[in-house]
Amino acid sequence: MTTLRGRDLLRDPRLNKFTAFTPAEREALGLVGLLPEAVESAETRLERAKSQLARKPTNLEKYLSLSALQDIDETLFYRLLMSEPARFVPLVYTPTVGEACLEFSHIIERPKGLYLSIERKGHVREVLRNWPERDVRFIVVTSGGRILGLGDLGANGMGIPIGKLALYTVGAGVPPRFTLPIMMDCGTDNETLLSDPFYIGLRRNRPSIAELDEFVEEFVTVPIWQFPRCCIQWEDWARADAFRLLARYRERVCSFNDDIQGSGAVALAGILSALRITGGKLGEQTFLFLGAGAAAIGISDMLTRAMMQDGLTHEQACARIWLFNSAGLLETSRRDLEDYQLPYAHAHAPSGDFVATIESLKPTVIIGVSTAAGLFNQRVVEAMARLNRRPVIFALSNPTSRSECTAEEAYKWSEGRAVFASGSPFPPFKYRERTLTPGQCNNLYIFPAVGLAVYATRAARVTDEMFIAAARAVAAQVTQADLDAGLIYPPQADILKTEMHVAERIADMIFDGGLASVSKPPDMGAFITSHVYKPEYRSLV
């Protein structure tokens, strides 16, 4: 039931059904004459939306069309995305969201979420009161400091929290009404944006660490009283900020950083699956990263914790992991390293040559998180193929334009032997008589399931152990048929089923750890299912 009538009802995206309003609803709610005479089913509405989307010539135009649909008919928007997630998710998130963020100030038509300017410091409470929903369970918040592999995009980075929260619903059925995307606009050091007459953000350079931290502290304290069941996801902050804020707040409030913990878990899931192809145990592998930022450390820390669960000491686990960045191999003689990088700096001669480092360390797995395209060149892949019968090559930088190599390159240069995954999707590749399906190491497999479990259990905290449990649960759902095709993640077509299973495992851990705020149910599967949003029109009379 609703008190809205006529045009006000048609303007509410959560209630609007357009031609799916029944004759009785049209009569009772003052809609006669405001709608065409045709009364259509939800299925017809869905097929028309697919047809309209197919008419758009570019992915960016499809992104804009979907964004408009979300503002008009939220139920149809999620029904569309959830009908074929493998087809439509890349249009609302990676890789298309990267292009959208680059152009955000020029393509934005209607605001979504909340823009919280550092100029409002001291008045954060008043700003958050302007959000119409009183029960917010998930905030995805960014400063725009490091959007994907694209750098500082300031307020243009708002596309990221909007997209991430859509994936909470698509991937795991978290009800969209409980979500809030926030852009903490702290200015930008991107001079191109500051000189752009259409830039929508605050026109100033970024603040000092002290000023930023004071602003963030005020922001964090407001949800504690205004949204007491809320979980905060830190997203695409500058590297140093990301580590500092995660460390400061992970034990104080229910919060996590998807770039660090989510990236670590989804990479761990892919590696666990890859080992079913290559053979050997996790603690027997040698990992070499290209890149030493938030994603690299997040994956390294998750691998370390997983190896410790398997019986290694912390020192033994760290010794299996090496990092290489633009200044060369991280080794003990370097004096330019951050504290969070030090556990992975080992005794070794200095090296600025990645191929030479491969030849020296003989890694079984290389992981690209450099945000620089093409660095896994033919020499790199061929070196890995010489050293390993089935080299594991993860080119994880997003968007596609920043990937360290393509799937085709990895397969061709390794003579079809590479076990490959990328951050953004690549199409299947036929090598000789085999069709190889590259895996997409997409955080979509992890963070929505964590969200669903936290939402259902009302968890007080999010822990690294939850992410490891999620990784193991994702890997366990990869079938032998998937592995035979080279696929090391479950098909995205079944993403909701996959994540509901993952959420069950995480919820078990939440209850066993005493972090839940509700009683443990006798049937965990039914408990999780009861919390899943279904994009269905409901009767309004």
- Claim to verify: residue 111 and residue 32 sit in the same structural domain: no
Does residue 36 sit in the same domain as residue 140? no
Coil, helix or strand for 117? strand
Q: Which pLDDT score, from 0 to 100, does residue 225 have?
A: 81
Query: What's the CATH code of the domain at 29?
Result: 1.20.1370.30
Q: What is the pLDDT of residue 469?
A: 96
pLDDT at 353: 97
Does residue 195 belong to any structural domain of this protein?
yes
Q: Specify the CATH number for the domain of residue 195.
A: 3.40.50.10380
For residue 484, the model assigns a pLDDT of 87
CB 131 within 8 A of CB 179: no
| 62 noted as active-site residue | no
Judge if 146 and 207 occupy the same domain: yes
Q: Are 160 and 207 found together in one domain?
A: yes
Contacts of 132 (CB under 8 A, 6+ apart): none
- Is 541 within 8 Å of 28 (Cβ atoms)? yes
Say whether both 176 and 41 belong to one domain. Answer: no
SS (H, E, C) 374-418: CCCCHHHHHHHHHHCCCCEEEECCCCHHHCCCCHHHHHHHCCCCC
Query: Strand pairing of 321-325 and 231-234?
Result: unpaired
The β-bridge partners of 429 are 436
The one catalytic residue among 78, 93, 249, 533: 93
Tens-place pLDDT, residues 199-235: 999 999 999 999 999 999 999 998 778 899 999 999 9
CA distances from 475 to 345, 429, 441, 509 (A): 29, 23, 12, 17
Collect all residues with Cβ–Cβ distance below 8 Å to 287 and sequence separation of at least 6: 300, 303, 320, 321, 322, 363, 364, 365, 366, 367
* CB-facing half-sphere around the CA of 313: CA atoms within 13 A: 3
Rg (Cα) of the chain, in Å, rounded? 24
Q: What is the CB neighbour count within 10 angstroms for residue 286?
A: 15
The pair of structure tokens assigned to 257 is 């950083």
Distance of CA 95 to the CA centre of its chain: 12
Residues 175 and 43 in one domain: no
pLDDT (0 to 100) of residue 98: 93
Q: Indicate the number of domains in the chain.
A: 2
Q: Check: CB of residue 144 under 8 Å from CB of residue 158.
A: yes
Question: Do 189 and 237 share a domain, yes or no?
Answer: yes
Kind plus residue range of the DSSP H or E element containing 208: none
Tokens 């750890």 sit on residue: 513
Among 232, 253, 274, residue at a domain's last position: 253
The two three-digit tokens of residue 302, written as one number:
């998750």
CA distance 499 to 273: 17
Q: Is residue 504 part of a domain?
A: no
Residues 238, 161: one domain?
Answer: yes
DSSP E strands in 248-375: the ranges are 255-257, 287-290, 321-325, 328-329, 365-368
Domain boundary among 221, 253, 285: 253
* C-beta of residue 274 within 8 angstroms of C-beta of residue 487: no
Q: What is the pLDDT of residue 302?
A: 96
In a domain, 396, yes or no: no
* Residues 61, 68 contacting (CB under 8 angstroms): no
Concerning whether 455 is annotated as a catalytic residue, the answer is no
Q: Is residue 424 part of a domain?
A: no
CB atoms within 10 A of CB 32: 13
Quick one: angle between helices 42-54 and 74-83, nearest 10? 70
Asked if residue 323 belongs to a domain, the reply is no
In the predicted model, residues of the chain with pLDDT beneath 50 are none
Exactly one of 164, 249, 445, 537 is catalytic; which is it?
Answer: 164
Query: What is the pLDDT, as a whole number, of residue 401?
Result: 87
Specify whether the CB–CB gap between 176 and 70 falls below 8 A.
no
Residues 124 and 241 in one domain: yes
Spatial distance between the Cα atoms of 18 and 38, rounded to a whole number of angstroms: 10
Q: Report the Cα 134 to chain-centroid distance in Å.
A: 25
**171 lies in which domain range?**
91-253
Task: Please check whether residue 180 lies inside any domain of the structure.
Answer: yes
Please report whether residue 178 resides in a domain: yes
Token pair for residue 214? 């004071």
For residue 260, the 8-state DSSP code is: I
DSSP state of 237: -
Among 186, 218, 253, the domain boundary falls at 253
The answer to whether residues 179 and 111 touch, using CB atoms and an 8 Å cutoff, is no
One-character DSSP codes across 149-164:
TS---GGGGGHHHHHH
In this structure, are 43 and 139 located in the same domain?
A: no
E-strand ranges in 294-391 read 321-325, 328-329, 365-368
> What would the pLDDT profile of 320-336 be if each residue is shown by its tens digit?
999 999 999 999 999 99
d(CA 468, CA 307): 10
Q: How many CA atoms lie within 13 A of 137 on its CB side?
A: 20
Omega before 399 cis (within 30°)?
yes
- Asked if residue 233 belongs to a domain, the reply is yes
Say yes or no: 47 and 166 in one domain: no
Check whether residue 45 and residue 146 sit in a common domain: no
Query: Residue 87 corresponds to which tokens in the numbers above?
Result: 């087809």
Rounded to whole angstroms, the Cα distance separating 297 from 517 reads 31
| Alpha-helical regions (H) of 185-293 | 191-194, 209-226, 239-249, 263-278
